[in-house]
């Protein structure tokens, strides 16, 4: 008789323990301190860092619109997403409303930027 079924069963048990351990900390609600809703909004219990101030590079063309950088939440920590020039706005006169963090009684959530 071979030990293959026993080794396979041990592998399944070990894999289940590893997955269960990860799910306990990083399950559907993310790591401790975050809560996800069914609408896909992730609430973070800590405020994002202050806005970074950067030197904006030269405009590549007269129609380009600056898309400001912002802090994003990775599920573990905040990371800075650099701003950039959008060379092709959706229409003439379009205005970019930047990403922003909104504080609620459930925590902080990021409202994505949008064209107006």
Query: Hey, what are 48's tokens?
Result: 């994002």
The C-alpha atoms of residue 95 and residue 73 are separated, in whole angstroms, by 25
pTM, to two decimals: 0.66
Confidence of residue 44 (pLDDT cuts 50, 70, 90): very high
Residues near 100 by beta carbon (within 8 Å), at least 6 away in sequence: 70, 110, 111, 113
Q: Which of 104, 110, 106 is nearest to 49 (CA)?
A: 110
Per the prediction, the chain carries an average pLDDT of 79
Question: Which is more confident, 35 or 39?
Answer: 39
Report the pLDDT value the prediction gives residue 98, as an integer from 0 to 100: 96
Judged against a pLDDT cut of 60, whether residue 11 lies above it is answered with no
Report the pLDDT value the prediction gives residue 3, as an integer from 0 to 100: 61
């Amino acid at each position: 008789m071979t030990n293959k079924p026993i080794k396979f069963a041990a592998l399944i048990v070990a894999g289940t323990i590893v997955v269960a351990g990860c799910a306990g900390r990083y399950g559907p609600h993310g790591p401790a301190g975050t809560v996800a809703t069914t609408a896909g909004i992730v609430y973070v219990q800590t405020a994002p860092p202050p806005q970074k101030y950067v030197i904006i590079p030269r405009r590549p063309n007269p129609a380009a619109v600056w898309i400001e950088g912002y802090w994003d939440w990775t599920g573990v920590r905040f990371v800075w997403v650099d701003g950039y020039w959008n060379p092709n706005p959706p229409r003439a006169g379009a205005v970019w409303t930047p990403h922003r963090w909104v504080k609620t009684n459930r925590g902080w959530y990021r409202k994505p930027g949008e064209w107006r």
